[in-house]
Amino acid sequence: MKQPAAVLGTGQTHHRSKRLDVSMGGLCREAIDRALADAEVDWSDIDAVVLGKAPDLFEGVMMPELALADALGATGKPLLRVHTAGSVGGSTALVAASLVQAGVHRRVLAVAFEKQSESNAMWALSIGIPFSMPVHAGAGGYFAPHIRSYIRRSGAPEHVGAMVAVKDRRNGALNQYAHLRQSDITLESVQASAMLWDPVRYDETCPSSDGACAMVIGDASTAGGRNAAWIHATAMRTEPTMFAGRDHVNPQAGRDAAAALWKEAGITDPAAEVDAAEIYVPFSWFEPMWLENLGFADVGDGWKMTEAGDTAIGGRLPVNPSGGVLSSNPIGASGMLRFAEAAMQVMGRAGDHQVDGARTALGHAYGGGSQFFAMWVVRSTKP
Protein backbone atom coordinates (compact mmCIF):
# COMPACT_ATOMS: atom_id res chain seq x y z
CA MET A 1 0.00 0.00 0.00
CA LYS A 2 3.01 2.28 0.33
CA GLN A 3 3.65 4.26 -2.83
CA PRO A 4 7.35 4.41 -3.79
CA ALA A 5 9.01 7.65 -2.68
CA ALA A 6 12.45 9.10 -3.34
CA VAL A 7 14.65 11.99 -2.33
CA LEU A 8 14.90 14.17 -5.43
CA GLY A 9 17.20 16.82 -4.03
CA THR A 10 18.92 17.98 -0.85
CA GLY A 11 20.25 21.26 0.47
CA GLN A 12 21.97 22.49 3.59
CA THR A 13 23.43 25.67 5.00
CA HIS A 14 26.96 26.44 5.94
CA HIS A 15 26.87 25.61 9.63
CA ARG A 16 28.45 28.01 12.11
CA SER A 17 28.23 28.69 15.84
CA LYS A 18 26.49 31.99 15.06
CA ARG A 19 24.81 32.79 11.75
CA LEU A 20 24.29 36.47 12.48
CA ASP A 21 23.95 37.21 8.75
CA VAL A 22 20.51 35.55 8.49
CA SER A 23 17.23 35.38 10.37
CA MET A 24 15.55 32.04 11.03
CA GLY A 25 13.65 32.45 7.77
CA GLY A 26 16.86 33.31 5.91
CA LEU A 27 18.61 30.29 7.37
CA CYS A 28 15.84 27.95 6.25
CA ARG A 29 15.72 29.54 2.81
CA GLU A 30 19.46 28.98 2.31
CA ALA A 31 18.88 25.22 2.67
CA ILE A 32 15.55 25.20 0.81
CA ASP A 33 16.88 27.12 -2.18
CA ARG A 34 19.72 24.61 -2.54
CA ALA A 35 17.32 21.65 -2.21
CA LEU A 36 14.94 23.03 -4.85
CA ALA A 37 17.84 23.69 -7.20
CA ASP A 38 19.27 20.21 -6.58
CA ALA A 39 15.87 18.66 -7.32
CA GLU A 40 15.39 20.99 -10.31
CA VAL A 41 11.95 22.06 -9.11
CA ASP A 42 10.32 25.38 -8.26
CA TRP A 43 7.89 26.48 -5.54
CA SER A 44 4.85 25.66 -7.65
CA ASP A 45 5.99 22.02 -7.76
CA ILE A 46 5.82 21.68 -3.97
CA ASP A 47 2.50 20.37 -2.59
CA ALA A 48 3.19 20.52 1.15
CA VAL A 49 5.88 21.49 3.66
CA VAL A 50 6.98 19.61 6.78
CA LEU A 51 9.13 21.49 9.30
CA GLY A 52 11.07 19.96 12.15
CA LYS A 53 13.17 21.43 14.90
CA ALA A 54 13.99 20.63 18.51
CA PRO A 55 12.40 22.50 21.44
CA ASP A 56 10.97 25.95 20.81
CA LEU A 57 12.89 27.22 23.82
CA PHE A 58 16.11 26.81 21.81
CA GLU A 59 15.19 29.98 19.88
CA GLY A 60 12.61 31.42 22.25
CA VAL A 61 9.79 31.33 19.69
CA MET A 62 6.53 29.43 20.16
CA MET A 63 5.82 27.27 17.08
CA PRO A 64 8.11 29.28 14.74
CA GLU A 65 6.66 27.57 11.68
CA LEU A 66 3.66 29.90 12.02
CA ALA A 67 5.77 33.02 11.59
CA LEU A 68 7.96 31.25 9.02
CA ALA A 69 5.09 30.14 6.74
CA ASP A 70 5.98 32.68 4.03
CA ALA A 71 9.74 32.01 4.18
CA LEU A 72 9.09 28.27 3.89
CA GLY A 73 6.89 28.78 0.83
CA ALA A 74 4.08 27.09 2.74
CA THR A 75 1.44 29.81 2.47
CA GLY A 76 -1.67 28.34 0.88
CA LYS A 77 -0.34 24.80 1.39
CA PRO A 78 -0.38 22.23 4.18
CA LEU A 79 2.36 22.81 6.79
CA LEU A 80 3.14 20.21 9.44
CA ARG A 81 5.48 20.78 12.38
CA VAL A 82 7.22 17.78 13.89
CA HIS A 83 9.06 17.66 17.24
CA THR A 84 10.53 14.41 18.51
CA ALA A 85 13.55 15.73 20.46
CA GLY A 86 16.99 15.12 18.88
CA SER A 87 15.56 12.57 16.45
CA VAL A 88 13.30 15.26 14.98
CA GLY A 89 15.25 15.82 11.77
CA GLY A 90 14.86 12.15 10.94
CA SER A 91 11.22 12.02 11.99
CA THR A 92 10.51 15.08 9.85
CA ALA A 93 11.92 13.32 6.81
CA LEU A 94 9.79 10.28 7.62
CA VAL A 95 6.58 12.32 7.95
CA ALA A 96 7.36 14.01 4.63
CA ALA A 97 7.95 10.58 3.09
CA SER A 98 4.62 9.36 4.52
CA LEU A 99 2.79 12.14 2.69
CA VAL A 100 4.11 10.75 -0.56
CA GLN A 101 3.89 7.07 0.44
CA ALA A 102 0.24 7.55 1.48
CA GLY A 103 -0.55 8.91 -1.97
CA VAL A 104 -1.64 12.29 -0.57
CA HIS A 105 0.97 14.43 -2.35
CA ARG A 106 3.41 14.11 -5.26
CA ARG A 107 6.22 16.36 -4.02
CA VAL A 108 6.88 17.43 -0.45
CA LEU A 109 9.48 19.80 0.98
CA ALA A 110 11.02 18.69 4.28
CA VAL A 111 12.92 21.31 6.27
CA ALA A 112 14.68 21.17 9.63
CA PHE A 113 16.65 23.85 11.40
CA GLU A 114 18.12 25.08 14.64
CA LYS A 115 19.40 28.57 15.25
CA GLN A 116 20.96 27.98 18.59
CA SER A 117 22.59 31.39 18.75
CA GLU A 118 19.15 33.03 19.14
CA SER A 119 18.92 31.66 22.66
CA ASN A 120 20.76 29.40 25.09
CA ALA A 121 20.32 25.68 24.52
CA MET A 122 21.95 24.70 27.81
CA TRP A 123 19.42 26.86 29.66
CA ALA A 124 16.53 25.43 27.67
CA LEU A 125 17.67 21.91 28.54
CA SER A 126 18.05 22.63 32.23
CA ILE A 127 14.51 23.52 33.26
CA GLY A 128 13.42 20.48 35.21
CA ILE A 129 9.94 19.44 36.17
CA PRO A 130 9.19 18.94 39.85
CA PHE A 131 10.25 15.53 41.20
CA SER A 132 12.84 14.92 38.46
CA MET A 133 16.58 14.57 39.06
CA PRO A 134 18.22 18.04 39.13
CA VAL A 135 21.21 17.09 36.98
CA HIS A 136 21.54 20.37 35.02
CA ALA A 137 24.69 19.09 33.38
CA GLY A 138 23.53 19.24 29.77
CA ALA A 139 23.54 16.32 27.37
CA GLY A 140 27.18 15.39 28.04
CA GLY A 141 26.57 15.02 31.76
CA TYR A 142 23.58 12.84 31.02
CA PHE A 143 25.31 10.52 28.56
CA ALA A 144 28.79 10.23 30.16
CA PRO A 145 27.74 7.49 32.64
CA HIS A 146 26.24 5.49 29.75
CA ILE A 147 29.53 5.80 27.85
CA ARG A 148 31.53 4.78 30.92
CA SER A 149 29.23 1.81 31.29
CA TYR A 150 29.77 0.86 27.63
CA ILE A 151 33.54 0.94 28.08
CA ARG A 152 33.27 -1.24 31.20
CA ARG A 153 30.93 -3.76 29.55
CA SER A 154 32.78 -4.04 26.26
CA GLY A 155 36.35 -3.73 27.50
CA ALA A 156 37.01 -1.15 24.79
CA PRO A 157 40.41 0.58 24.98
CA GLU A 158 40.14 4.26 25.95
CA HIS A 159 41.59 5.58 22.67
CA VAL A 160 38.60 4.39 20.59
CA GLY A 161 36.57 7.53 21.38
CA ALA A 162 39.46 9.74 20.28
CA MET A 163 39.80 7.72 17.06
CA VAL A 164 36.18 8.50 16.16
CA ALA A 165 36.74 12.19 16.80
CA VAL A 166 39.81 12.25 14.54
CA LYS A 167 37.99 10.39 11.77
CA ASP A 168 34.82 12.52 11.87
CA ARG A 169 36.62 15.86 12.08
CA ARG A 170 38.92 14.93 9.20
CA ASN A 171 35.85 13.83 7.22
CA GLY A 172 34.27 17.16 8.12
CA ALA A 173 37.23 18.90 6.50
CA LEU A 174 36.12 17.32 3.21
CA ASN A 175 32.60 18.76 3.62
CA GLN A 176 32.27 22.38 2.50
CA TYR A 177 29.20 22.90 4.74
CA ALA A 178 30.64 21.49 7.99
CA HIS A 179 30.96 23.73 11.04
CA LEU A 180 34.24 22.19 12.26
CA ARG A 181 36.77 21.34 9.55
CA GLN A 182 39.91 20.08 11.27
CA SER A 183 42.15 18.33 8.76
CA ASP A 184 45.11 18.50 11.14
CA ILE A 185 43.46 16.94 14.20
CA THR A 186 45.37 13.99 15.73
CA LEU A 187 44.78 11.28 18.28
CA GLU A 188 47.25 13.05 20.56
CA SER A 189 45.54 16.41 20.26
CA VAL A 190 42.14 14.91 21.07
CA GLN A 191 43.57 13.09 24.07
CA ALA A 192 45.20 16.30 25.24
CA SER A 193 41.95 18.25 25.12
CA ALA A 194 40.13 19.09 28.35
CA MET A 195 38.14 16.39 30.13
CA LEU A 196 34.54 17.66 30.28
CA TRP A 197 32.47 14.77 31.57
CA ASP A 198 34.73 11.79 32.28
CA PRO A 199 35.40 9.95 29.94
CA VAL A 200 34.23 12.55 27.39
CA ARG A 201 36.87 15.07 26.33
CA TYR A 202 36.24 18.44 24.68
CA ASP A 203 37.29 17.28 21.21
CA GLU A 204 34.95 14.29 21.48
CA THR A 205 31.83 16.46 21.75
CA CYS A 206 29.63 18.04 19.11
CA PRO A 207 29.65 21.78 18.50
CA SER A 208 26.62 24.03 18.99
CA SER A 209 25.59 25.16 15.50
CA ASP A 210 23.19 27.36 13.59
CA GLY A 211 22.07 25.50 10.49
CA ALA A 212 19.32 24.03 8.38
CA CYS A 213 18.72 21.14 6.02
CA ALA A 214 16.04 20.61 3.38
CA MET A 215 14.97 17.82 1.08
CA VAL A 216 12.50 17.41 -1.75
CA ILE A 217 10.77 14.03 -1.57
CA GLY A 218 8.69 12.91 -4.53
CA ASP A 219 6.72 10.00 -5.93
CA ALA A 220 7.62 7.78 -8.89
CA SER A 221 6.00 10.11 -11.42
CA THR A 222 8.09 13.08 -10.27
CA ALA A 223 11.31 11.10 -9.98
CA GLY A 224 11.01 9.88 -13.55
CA GLY A 225 14.38 8.71 -14.78
CA ARG A 226 16.21 11.12 -12.49
CA ASN A 227 19.06 10.15 -10.27
CA ALA A 228 17.21 9.83 -6.96
CA ALA A 229 17.59 8.22 -3.54
CA TRP A 230 14.75 5.70 -3.23
CA ILE A 231 13.39 5.13 0.25
CA HIS A 232 13.42 1.36 0.85
CA ALA A 233 12.63 1.24 4.55
CA THR A 234 11.72 3.52 7.46
CA ALA A 235 11.43 2.93 11.20
CA MET A 236 10.64 4.86 14.38
CA ARG A 237 10.58 3.56 17.95
CA THR A 238 10.17 5.14 21.39
CA GLU A 239 10.68 3.98 24.96
CA PRO A 240 10.41 5.90 28.26
CA THR A 241 13.35 7.91 29.62
CA MET A 242 13.57 6.11 32.92
CA PHE A 243 12.45 2.82 34.35
CA ALA A 244 14.06 0.04 36.32
CA GLY A 245 15.77 -2.37 33.98
CA ARG A 246 16.16 0.01 31.06
CA ASP A 247 19.40 -0.53 29.15
CA HIS A 248 20.74 2.99 28.55
CA VAL A 249 23.82 1.64 26.75
CA ASN A 250 21.97 -0.49 24.23
CA PRO A 251 18.31 0.64 24.26
CA GLN A 252 15.63 -1.80 23.18
CA ALA A 253 13.87 0.91 21.12
CA GLY A 254 16.96 1.31 18.92
CA ARG A 255 17.36 -2.45 18.50
CA ASP A 256 13.68 -2.86 17.62
CA ALA A 257 13.77 0.00 15.12
CA ALA A 258 16.86 -1.44 13.44
CA ALA A 259 15.35 -4.92 13.26
CA ALA A 260 12.19 -3.53 11.64
CA LEU A 261 14.28 -1.41 9.28
CA TRP A 262 16.53 -4.22 8.02
CA LYS A 263 13.52 -6.48 7.60
CA GLU A 264 11.62 -3.95 5.49
CA ALA A 265 14.72 -3.27 3.38
CA GLY A 266 15.34 -6.99 2.91
CA ILE A 267 18.77 -6.71 4.50
CA THR A 268 20.04 -9.74 6.43
CA ASP A 269 23.68 -8.70 6.98
CA PRO A 270 23.76 -4.93 7.46
CA ALA A 271 27.55 -4.65 7.74
CA ALA A 272 27.94 -6.35 4.35
CA GLU A 273 24.96 -4.85 2.55
CA VAL A 274 25.13 -1.17 3.62
CA ASP A 275 27.70 0.91 1.75
CA ALA A 276 27.63 4.06 3.88
CA ALA A 277 26.03 4.99 7.18
CA GLU A 278 25.21 8.41 8.58
CA ILE A 279 24.72 7.70 12.28
CA TYR A 280 23.82 10.25 14.96
CA VAL A 281 27.05 10.48 16.97
CA PRO A 282 27.08 13.65 19.13
CA PHE A 283 29.72 12.19 21.48
CA SER A 284 32.43 10.08 19.89
CA TRP A 285 31.75 6.92 21.88
CA PHE A 286 28.28 6.67 20.39
CA GLU A 287 29.81 5.34 17.16
CA PRO A 288 30.75 1.92 18.61
CA MET A 289 27.64 1.93 20.81
CA TRP A 290 25.28 2.48 17.88
CA LEU A 291 27.19 0.05 15.63
CA GLU A 292 26.10 -2.62 18.12
CA ASN A 293 22.61 -1.22 18.67
CA LEU A 294 22.02 -1.13 14.89
CA GLY A 295 23.27 -4.68 14.37
CA PHE A 296 26.42 -3.78 12.39
CA ALA A 297 28.46 -5.53 15.08
CA ASP A 298 27.77 -8.06 17.81
CA VAL A 299 27.28 -6.73 21.31
CA GLY A 300 30.68 -5.80 22.72
CA ASP A 301 32.36 -5.71 19.31
CA GLY A 302 31.42 -2.27 17.93
CA TRP A 303 34.71 -0.71 19.09
CA LYS A 304 36.65 -3.36 17.15
CA MET A 305 35.17 -2.12 13.87
CA THR A 306 36.14 1.43 14.76
CA GLU A 307 39.63 0.48 15.90
CA ALA A 308 40.23 -1.58 12.72
CA GLY A 309 39.41 1.46 10.57
CA ASP A 310 36.31 -0.20 9.09
CA THR A 311 34.29 2.98 9.67
CA ALA A 312 36.64 5.33 7.80
CA ILE A 313 36.01 6.42 4.21
CA GLY A 314 37.45 3.54 2.21
CA GLY A 315 36.73 1.10 5.05
CA ARG A 316 34.25 -1.77 5.14
CA LEU A 317 31.43 0.44 6.44
CA PRO A 318 32.16 4.17 6.16
CA VAL A 319 30.36 5.91 9.04
CA ASN A 320 29.70 9.65 8.87
CA PRO A 321 31.71 10.50 5.77
CA SER A 322 30.17 13.99 6.06
CA GLY A 323 31.83 14.54 9.42
CA GLY A 324 28.58 13.83 11.22
CA VAL A 325 27.16 15.50 14.30
CA LEU A 326 30.68 15.81 15.73
CA SER A 327 31.43 18.32 12.96
CA SER A 328 28.08 20.17 12.76
CA ASN A 329 25.23 20.12 15.25
CA PRO A 330 22.26 22.37 14.51
CA ILE A 331 20.22 20.08 16.78
CA GLY A 332 16.83 20.09 15.03
CA ALA A 333 18.52 19.71 11.64
CA SER A 334 21.20 17.20 12.72
CA GLY A 335 18.95 14.18 12.17
CA MET A 336 17.81 15.38 8.76
CA LEU A 337 21.43 16.00 7.79
CA ARG A 338 22.08 12.29 8.46
CA PHE A 339 19.13 11.34 6.26
CA ALA A 340 20.09 13.82 3.53
CA GLU A 341 23.75 12.81 3.56
CA ALA A 342 22.71 9.17 3.15
CA ALA A 343 20.63 10.25 0.14
CA MET A 344 23.54 12.28 -1.27
CA GLN A 345 25.78 9.21 -1.05
CA VAL A 346 23.50 6.96 -3.10
CA MET A 347 22.83 9.75 -5.60
CA GLY A 348 26.60 10.17 -5.99
CA ARG A 349 26.35 13.84 -5.03
CA ALA A 350 28.40 13.89 -1.82
CA GLY A 351 31.33 15.75 -3.37
CA ASP A 352 34.71 15.32 -1.70
CA HIS A 353 33.29 13.01 0.96
CA GLN A 354 31.64 10.66 -1.55
CA VAL A 355 32.00 6.96 -0.77
CA ASP A 356 32.93 5.22 -4.00
CA GLY A 357 30.16 3.05 -5.36
CA ALA A 358 27.66 3.73 -2.57
CA ARG A 359 24.33 2.16 -3.57
CA THR A 360 22.70 1.50 -0.18
CA ALA A 361 22.93 3.93 2.74
CA LEU A 362 21.56 4.33 6.25
CA GLY A 363 20.29 7.58 7.80
CA HIS A 364 19.91 7.40 11.59
CA ALA A 365 18.82 9.79 14.34
CA TYR A 366 18.15 9.49 18.03
CA GLY A 367 16.90 11.84 20.69
CA GLY A 368 15.85 12.40 24.29
CA GLY A 369 17.72 10.16 26.70
CA SER A 370 18.55 7.69 23.89
CA GLN A 371 14.86 6.79 23.71
CA PHE A 372 13.54 8.17 20.38
CA PHE A 373 14.85 6.57 17.20
CA ALA A 374 14.22 7.36 13.53
CA MET A 375 15.97 5.65 10.60
CA TRP A 376 15.77 5.06 6.90
CA VAL A 377 17.49 3.02 4.22
CA VAL A 378 17.90 4.64 0.80
CA ARG A 379 19.16 3.07 -2.38
CA SER A 380 20.09 4.26 -5.85
CA THR A 381 17.57 1.80 -7.30
CA LYS A 382 13.78 1.88 -7.22
CA PRO A 383 12.11 -0.63 -4.85
Partner 1 sequence: MVNDVAVIGFAQSPSVPVTDGTTNGVEMLVPVFERALAQAGLPKSDVGFWCSGSSDYLAGRAFSFVAAVDAIGAFPPIHESHIEGDAAWALYEAWLKLRTGEADTALVYGFGKSSAGELRRVLALQTDPYTVAPLWPDAVSLAALQARLGLDAGLWSERDMAEVAARSRADATTNPLAQLSGKVDVEELLGTEYVADPLRVHDCAPVTDGAAAVVLAAGDRARELVGRPAWISGIAHRVESGSLGVRDLTTSVSTTASAEAAGGVDGVEVAELHAPFTHQELLLRQALGLGSSVRINPSGGVLTGNPMFAAGLVRIGEAAGRVFDGSAGRVLAHATSGPLLQHNLVCVLEGAR
- Answer yes or no whether residue 69 interacts with partner 1 by CB under 8 A: yes
In sequence order, which residues have a C-beta less than 8 Å from that of residue 361 and are 6 or more positions away?
A: 229, 274, 275, 276, 277, 278, 342, 343, 345, 346, 377, 378, 379
- Answer yes or no whether residue 141 interacts with partner 1 by CB under 8 A: no
> Cβ closer to partner 1: 62 or 194?
62
Q: How far is the CB of 107 from partner 1 (least distance, A)?
A: 16
Q: Where are the alpha helices (DSSP H) in the chain?
A: 24-39, 65-68, 88-101, 121-124, 138-154, 159-172, 187-192, 220-223, 252-265, 270-273, 286-293, 302-307, 324-327, 331-347
Q: Where are the alpha helices (DSSP H) in 47-87?
A: 65-68
Q: Are strands 229-238 and 372-379 parallel, antiparallel or unpaired?
A: antiparallel
Q: Enumerate residues 237-266 that contact partner 1 by CB under 8 A.
A: 237-241, 243, 246, 251-253, 256-257
Q: Enumerate residues 1-20 that contact partner 1 by CB under 8 A.
A: 1-3
> Cβ closer to partner 1: 143 or 372?
372
- Answer yes or no whether residue 137 interacts with partner 1 by CB under 8 A: no
Q: Enumerate residues 27-56 that contact partner 1 by CB under 8 A.
A: 54-56
> Cβ closer to partner 1: 131 or 225?
131
For residue 178, report the phi and psi dihedrals to the nearest 5 degrees.
Answer: -65, 150
- Answer yes or no whether residue 195 interacts with partner 1 by CB under 8 A: no
Q: Are strands 79-82 and 48-52 parallel, antiparallel or unpaired?
A: parallel
According to CB under 8 A, which one of 39, 46, 80, 231 is a site residue for partner 1?
A: 80
- Answer yes or no whether residue 98 interacts with partner 1 by CB under 8 A: yes
By the criterion CB under 8 A, which residues form the site for partner 1? 1-3, 23-24, 54-64, 66-70, 74-85, 91, 95, 98-99, 101-104, 118, 124-125, 127-130, 132, 234, 236-241, 243, 246, 251-253, 256-257, 368, 371-372
